[in-house]
């Protein structure tokens, strides 16, 4: 039995490198979940490739006993595009952060999504620069105090899922570092989706931005502050599922309503439809504390991935031409004999 | 134009000349490049050796009649070895006053001007800066002048084809081509076939252009031309037998990359971002999808090189291509490829700089960037093409070095080489020695840090290979294991190793030879890149005149050939002409502590042979 036919165990995916994130970093939890999910995907280990840029999250490939490439700041998506173009059989994962993917690498994130390169892009969003010691990031809330913004940051933050849908991503999802079960299900969905799969993972930075997602993560308040998305199910939340989201057709926006006597009925609520891009955009815009934060698959509407159209076009060209012969190419067109 | 003899045929005298330089100049919308290319093809078929120099403005369609919108195409052809596009013009075709005023300075006294007098209107004259009409005021008396109302002639000739005025006027370039073909006894067959192919969907336009072409030719045969305007005979050149074609540097680079990837037994992934004058390589390769080629137009220069790096990591030959400003953007990723020791090829088709500079003009000013333009100690092999034809072999060499030594290799070409065409005796690709890549497949004792003890090349194990899963990256790696290492001794060792590997390539490249002349003597003219032709002709002429001068033209700019120091030391004096402010001269001085005189030109135009000859003469006198 060749190595590729053997069932991979979680331990097979653990590299021999000592993990060097700060104690309590959300990255540990994500790493563990990824290592747990990967054996279930039916991909031979030798075909798994993790590509990263620069930042705390980008150390990720060193800890996966797969093929891995720790590249340069912001460019993981571009390197990964080259990997996938060169060998479409490979199962490519990009691990990146809010600074890496949305600041220095924003352009490449935009283009890898619109091109629909078949890969999973995991964006660990901790709303801060960790590796460079705590400067504010493009997802930091206005007013974030950091070494470079001691009096509070001034620029408007970017919402990663809104950006992704706007860029033309065909799969956009969100999960939370420590929610192993939910994260695992989202990762499986991201992998199942053929094309660029964008996954924002709320990740806690214990050193520079500790606790910013506590209101969503806290078991006591989570039912009120999260909206767990399920395709075909109404948008309900709350301890007793007593609240929901309804579309206000005049204002063209979602609004929170109470269910039950004197309130709205379940039939009034929006039913989640992953294939509806406009709904996906509305969900991506919802933020605390006015709204619960949606987690799960916000949008999924597959289309042909980039490598497929590239290689199909090449096949079409090949069918219309003589077999490739370099000597013939060199002599193609106008020649003369002396 | 060198007159070789006279023969009389009828009333007109047929002059036999050994070589001729013609420049076609007009508005960028006048079709001068097409005219030049057609004349080039006809000249190649005739059997002359030739070199061309297309020179066009950065603006796609500059305002009609503007001096900055003049587009020109120069061809030098002859019965002997032609290696440059020529210094001085024998014939200037000027389609308007702007074309005349900007090009007249290059015409030899007594040279022929063919001008479209219909375009010399008050408005066009004023636009070009003429106070009076030079076709009429006697200011061109030093030249032979053939002022013809070409526009009116053309409109009359193509009238039966029912073209709009705009399309009718556009046929004037073919009329002019017809006249020059008559003047130099070229066949119109290729041009006619070419027009029928180009306008296959618009037969009326094809036939109108052919009619214009024939009319121009007939005009030459039948009109009473002023005395001294004759049919010139330029005997065919004595060249080696074989199948020939014209090829530009752009095509030669693209085909060379396909050849290189085939010889390396690798798929080719070419990732690029459009930039003048480098885009042609992307265009050419995009038409070759039936080969094992994938082309990728990235969102920017950085993404382009990163995709190429990713492709190399995945087991293809990753190649990216740009011009100086784009190479600046790629710098960080080039260093990553150096640190990760991945094979790849980077092409810089140089243009005038700095910044946007002169995008369509030629320069050699990115040598320092090629050698040093990255952070940290990241030397990499740099090789330069010297002629359009040479681009083919240089691309193969770059592929060989990159894959055999697991390193990025930088090719220097330039705007002149990319656009200029030369007749090429087409090689048989089977004559090239293959250098197939052997990917690692054996898990036994595998480490990503393993390397060939001779070449120091790092092992190349591609994703998809079972048992060889490993990580690479930009962080310093342990010499022994390839794992991340911040150890100080290890960094010293790895830095030394990287430079030792690159320096060691000198053992695997040919020794430097003398292009023309001797292995020692009074003066060596030392050059690199596209100055080859001008330097060759200048040295040849100087030697013919009895001067002890030799030419050394360097392809391998880093590492330098192992015998170069000894060779250069064998001359009393060195002259280093460059289209920059002296970058290679500095490299020679710093590498060998040998004095080298600089001769520099950064006008956006190639060297003239005469400029080099004068410098040779001056330096010979100073070293007496």
Q: What is the pLDDT of residue A335?
A: 87
Q: What is the pLDDT of residue B238?
A: 84
Q: pLDDT tier at B486 (50, 70, 90 boundaries)?
A: very high
Least confident of B2-11, B380-389, B450-459: B2-11
Within a domain: A60: yes
Same domain, B253 and B170: no
CA-closest candidate to residue B537, choices B86, B21, B88: B86
Distance CA A241, CA A325 (A): 67
Instruction: Summarize pLDDT for B189-203 with one digit per residue, the tens.
Output: 989 998 999 899 999
B472–A70 CB contact, under 8 Å? yes
B309–A4 CB contact, under 8 Å? no
H helix runs in B264-389, sequence order: 279-286, 301-313, 324-340, 367-372
Smallest Cβ–Cβ distance between A310 and the set B47, B294, B465 belongs to B294
Taking the CA of residue A134 and the nearest CA in chain B, the distance in Å comes to 21
The rounded mean pLDDT for chain B is 93
CA-closest candidate to residue B30, choices B148, B166, B131, B223: B166
Phi, then psi, of B492 in degrees rounded to 5: -60, -45
Does residue A99 or residue B222 have the better pLDDT? A99
A72–B296 CB contact, under 8 Å? no
Q: Residue B104 sits in a domain of what CATH number?
A: 3.40.920.10
For chain A, what percent of residues have pLDDT higher than 90?
A: 94
Same domain, B208 and B299: no
Instruction: Summarize pLDDT for B110-131 with one digit per residue, the tens.
Output: 899 999 999 999 999 999 999 9
Q: pLDDT tier at B624 (50, 70, 90 boundaries)?
A: low
Q: pLDDT tier at B64 (50, 70, 90 boundaries)?
A: confident
Phi, then psi, of A83 in degrees rounded to 5: -60, -50
Same domain, B265 and B317: yes
Least confident of A3-12, A256-265, B492-501: A3-12
Residues 6+ apart with CB under 8 A from A37: A184, A187, A188, A191
Q: What is the pLDDT of residue B13?
A: 53
The CA-CA-CA angle for residues B267, B271, B277, to 5°, reads 125
Instruction: Summarize pLDDT for B18-51 with one digit per residue, the tens.
Output: 889 999 999 888 899 999 999 998 998 888 989 8
A46–B466 CB contact, under 8 Å? yes
Give me A184's structure tokens.
């695992």
For chain B, what percent of residues have pLDDT higher than 70?
A: 97
B302–A75 CB contact, under 8 Å? yes
Within a domain: A250: no
Which residues of chain A are within 8 Å of residue B197 when distances are taken between CB atoms? none
Helices B32-46 and B172-183 pack at an angle, to 10 degrees, of 30
How many domains does chain B contain in total? 3
Does residue B62 have a pLDDT over 90? no
Residue of B463, B465, B470, B476 to mutate, interface with A, max A Cβ within 10 Å: B463
A82–B300 CB contact, under 8 Å? no
How many domains does chain A contain in total? 1
Q: Residue B589 sits in a domain of what CATH number?
A: 3.40.50.920
Smallest Cβ–Cβ distance between B473 and the set A48, A71, A333 belongs to A71
H helix runs in chain A, sequence order: 26-37, 76-86, 98-99, 106-115, 160-167, 180-192, 214-217, 219-225, 277-285, 306-320, 326-330
Q: What is the pLDDT of residue B563?
A: 98
What is the domain extent for residue B146?
2-233
Smallest Cβ–Cβ distance between A87 and the set B259, B463, B468 belongs to B463
Distance CA A74, CA B439 (A): 29
Same domain, B204 and B257: no
Q: Residue A125 sits in a domain of what CATH number?
A: 3.40.50.970
Same domain, B542 and B616: yes
Q: pLDDT tier at B225 (50, 70, 90 boundaries)?
A: confident
The rounded mean pLDDT for chain A is 95
Does residue B268 have a pLDDT over 80? yes
Instruction: Choose the final residue of a domain: B184, B202, B233.
Output: B233
Q: What is the pLDDT of residue A269?
A: 97
Q: What is the pLDDT of residue B390?
A: 97
Within a domain: B288: yes
B306–A111 CB contact, under 8 Å? no
Least confident of B220-224, B366-370, B433-437: B220-224
Within a domain: B592: yes
Q: pLDDT tier at B9 (50, 70, 90 boundaries)?
A: very low
Instruction: Summarize pLDDT for B356-377 with one digit per residue, the tens.
Output: 999 989 999 999 999 999 999 9
List the beta bridge partners of residue B12. B9
Rg, chain A, Cα only: 23
Same domain, B332 and B287: yes
State which H helix or E strand residue A254 sits in.
strand A253-258
Q: What is the pLDDT of residue A239?
A: 95
Instruction: Choose the final residue of a domain: B378, B412, B431.
Output: B431
Give me B140's structure tokens.
């061109």
Long-range contacts, stretch A154-157, CB < 8 angstroms, 24+ apart? A157/A127
Q: What is the pLDDT of residue B2?
A: 59
> CB–CB of B211/B175 below 8 Å?
no
Same domain, B427 and B306: yes
Within a domain: A225: no
Does residue B7 have a pLDDT over 70? no
Within a domain: B476: no
Mean pLDDT for the stretch of residues B468-489: 96
Residue of B273, B285, B313 to mutate, interface with A, max A Cβ within 10 Å: B313
Does residue A310 have a pLDDT over 60? yes
Instruction: Choose the final residue of a domain: B198, B233, B268.
Output: B233
Give me A237's structure tokens.
């939340």
Same domain, B223 and B351: no
Smallest Cβ–Cβ distance between A85 and the set B262, B296, B474 belongs to B296
Mean pLDDT for the stretch of residues A255-283: 95
Same domain, B273 and B199: no
> CB–CB of B70/B101 below 8 Å?
no
Q: How far is CA B531 from CA B385, B386, B412, B579, B601, in A?
A: 10, 7, 13, 8, 11
A336–B291 CB contact, under 8 Å? no
A326–B463 CB contact, under 8 Å? no
Taking the CA of residue A70 and the nearest CA in chain B, the distance in Å comes to 4
Q: What is the pLDDT of residue B11?
A: 44
Instruction: Summarize pLDDT for A200-243 with one digit per residue, the tens.
Output: 999 999 999 999 999 999 999 999 999 999 999 999 999 999 99
Does residue B536 have a pLDDT over 70? yes
> CB–CB of A302/A195 below 8 Å?
yes
List b or e across A137-150, with b for residues whose CB sees 16 or more CB atoms inside 10 angstroms. Answer: bbbbeeebebeebe
> CB–CB of B409/B384 below 8 Å?
no
Does ipTM surpass 0.95 in this model?
yes
For residue B493, the tally of other CB atoms under 10 A from its CB is 15
Q: Residue B387 sits in a domain of what CATH number?
A: 3.40.50.970
Q: What is the pLDDT of residue A88?
A: 98
Within a domain: B453: no
What is the domain extent for residue A37?
3-212+302-307
Same domain, B261 and B319: yes
Q: pLDDT tier at B6 (50, 70, 90 boundaries)?
A: very low
For residue B220, the tally of other CB atoms under 10 A from its CB is 18
Same domain, B316 and B250: yes
Same domain, B8 and B140: yes
A62–B484 CB contact, under 8 Å? yes
Residue of B261, B296, B307, B399 to mutate, interface with A, max A Cβ within 10 Å: B307
Rg, chain B, Cα only: 27
């Amino acid at each position: 039995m060749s190595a590729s036919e053997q069932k991979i165990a979680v331990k097979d995916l653990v590299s021999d490198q000592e993990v060097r994130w700060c104690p309590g970093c959300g990255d540990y939890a994500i790493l563990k979940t990824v290592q747990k999910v990967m054996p279930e995907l039916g991909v031979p280990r030798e075909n798994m490739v993790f590509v990263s840029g620069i930042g705390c999250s980008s150390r990720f490939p060193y800890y996966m006993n797969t093929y891995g490439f720790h590249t340069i700041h912001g460019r993981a998506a571009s390197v990964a595009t080259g990997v996938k173009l060169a060998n479409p059989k490979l199962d490519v994962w990009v691990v990146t952060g809010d600074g890496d993917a949305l600041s220095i690498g924003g352009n490449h994130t935009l283009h890898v999504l619109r091109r629909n390169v078949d890969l999973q892009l995991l964006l660990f969003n901790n709303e801060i620069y960790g590796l460079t010691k705590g400067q504010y990031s493009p997802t930091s809330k206005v007013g974030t105090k950091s070494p470079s913004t001691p009096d509070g940051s001034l620029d408007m933050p970017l919402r990663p899922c809104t950006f992704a849908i706007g860029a033309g991503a065909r799969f956009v999802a969100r999960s939370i570092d420590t929610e192993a079960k939910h994260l695992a299900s989202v990762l499986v969905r991201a992998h199942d989706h053929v094309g660029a799969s964008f996954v924002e993972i709320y990740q806690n930075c214990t050193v520079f931005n500790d606790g910013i997602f506590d209101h969503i993560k806290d078991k006591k308040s989570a039912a009120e502050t999260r909206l767990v998305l399920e395709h075909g199910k109404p948008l309900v939340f709350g301890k007793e599922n007593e609240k929901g989201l309804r579309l206000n057709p005049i204002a063209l926006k979602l609004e929170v309503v109470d269910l039950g006597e004197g309130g709205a009925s379940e039939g009034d609520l929006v039913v989640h439809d992953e294939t509806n891009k406009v709904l996906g955009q509305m969900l991506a815009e919802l933020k605390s504390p006015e709204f619960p934060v949606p987690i799960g698959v916000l949008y999924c509407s597959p289309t042909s991935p980039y490598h497929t159209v590239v290689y199909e076009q090449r096949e079409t060209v090949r069918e219309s031409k003589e077999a490739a012969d370099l000597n013939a190419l060199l002599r193609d067109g106008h020649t003369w004999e002396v | 134009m060198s007159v070789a003899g006279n023969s009389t045929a009828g009333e007109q005298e047929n002059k036999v000349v050994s070589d001729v330089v013609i420049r076609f100049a007009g508005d960028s919308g006048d079709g001068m490049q097409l005219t030049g290319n057609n004349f080039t093809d006809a000249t190649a078929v005739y059997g002359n050796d030739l070199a061309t120099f297309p020179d066009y403005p950065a603006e796609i369609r500059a305002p009609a009649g503007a001096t900055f919108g003049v587009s020109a195409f120069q061809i030098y052809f002859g019965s002997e070895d032609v290696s440059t596009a020529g210094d001085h013009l024998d014939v200037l075709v000027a389609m308007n006053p702007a074309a005349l005023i900007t090009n007249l300075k290059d015409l030899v006294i007594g040279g022929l001007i063919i001008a479209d007098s219909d375009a010399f209107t008050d408005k066009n004259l004023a636009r070009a800066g003429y106070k009076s009409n030079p076709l009429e005021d006697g200011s061109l008396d030093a030249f032979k002048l053939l002022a013809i109302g070409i526009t009116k002639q053309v409109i009359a000739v193509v009238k039966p084809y029912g073209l709009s005025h705009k399309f009718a006027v556009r046929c004037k370039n073919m009329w002019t081509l017809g006249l020059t073909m008559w003047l130099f006894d070229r066949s119109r067959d290729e041009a006619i076939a070419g027009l029928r192919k180009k306008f296959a969907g618009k037969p009326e336009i094809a036939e109108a252009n052919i009619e214009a072409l024939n009319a121009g030719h007939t005009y030459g045969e039948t009109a009473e031309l002023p005395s001294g305007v004759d049919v010139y005979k330029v005997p065919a050149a004595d060249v080696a037998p074989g199948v020939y074609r014209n090829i530009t540097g752009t095509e030669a680079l693209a085909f060379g990359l396909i050849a290189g990837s085939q010889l390396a037994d690798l798929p080719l992934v070419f990732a690029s971002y459009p930039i003048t004058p480098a885009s042609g390589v992307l265009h050419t390769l995009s038409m070759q999808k039936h080969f094992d080629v994938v082309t990728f137009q990235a969102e920017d220069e950085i993404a382009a090189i990163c995709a190429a790096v990713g492709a190399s990591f995945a087991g293809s030959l990753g190649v990216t291509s740009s011009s100086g400003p784009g190479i600046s953007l790629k710098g960080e990723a080039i260093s990553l490829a150096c640190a990760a020791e991945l094979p790849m090829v980077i092409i810089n088709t140089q243009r005038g700089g700095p910044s946007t500079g002169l995008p369509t003009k030629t320069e050699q000013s990115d040598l320092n960037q090629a050698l040093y333009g990255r952070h940290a100690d990241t030397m990499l092999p740099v090789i330069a093409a010297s002629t359009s034809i040479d681009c083919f072999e240089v691309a193969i060499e770059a592929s060989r070095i990159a894959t055999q030594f697991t390193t990025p290799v930088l090719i220097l070409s330039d705007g002149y080489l990319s656009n200029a065409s030369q007749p090429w005796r087409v090689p048989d690709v089977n004559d090239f020695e293959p250098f197939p890549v052997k990917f690692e497949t054996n898990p036994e004792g595998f480490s990503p840090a393993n390397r060939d003890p001779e070449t120091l090349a790092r092992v190349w194990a591609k994703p998809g290979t079972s048992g060889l899963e490993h990580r690479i990256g930009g962080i310093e790696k342990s010499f022994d294991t390839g794992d991340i290492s911040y150890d100080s001794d290890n960094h010293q060792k790895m830095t030394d190793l990287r430079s030792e590997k690159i320096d060691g390539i000198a053992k695997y490249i040919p020794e430097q030879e003398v292009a023309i002349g001797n292995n020692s003597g009074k003066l060596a003219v030392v050059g690199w890149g596209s100055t080859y032709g001008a330097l060759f002709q200048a040295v040849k002429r100087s030697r013919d005149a009895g001067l002890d001068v030799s030419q050394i033209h360097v392809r391998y700019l880093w590492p330098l050939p192992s015998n170069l120091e000894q060779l250069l030391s064998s001359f009393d004096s060195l002259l280093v002409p460059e289209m920059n402010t002296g970058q290679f001269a500095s490299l020679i001085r710093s590498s060998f502590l040998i004095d080298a005189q600089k001769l520099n030109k950064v006008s956006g135009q190639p060297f003239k042979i005469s400029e080099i000859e004068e410098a040779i003469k001056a330096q010979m006198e100073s070293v007496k």
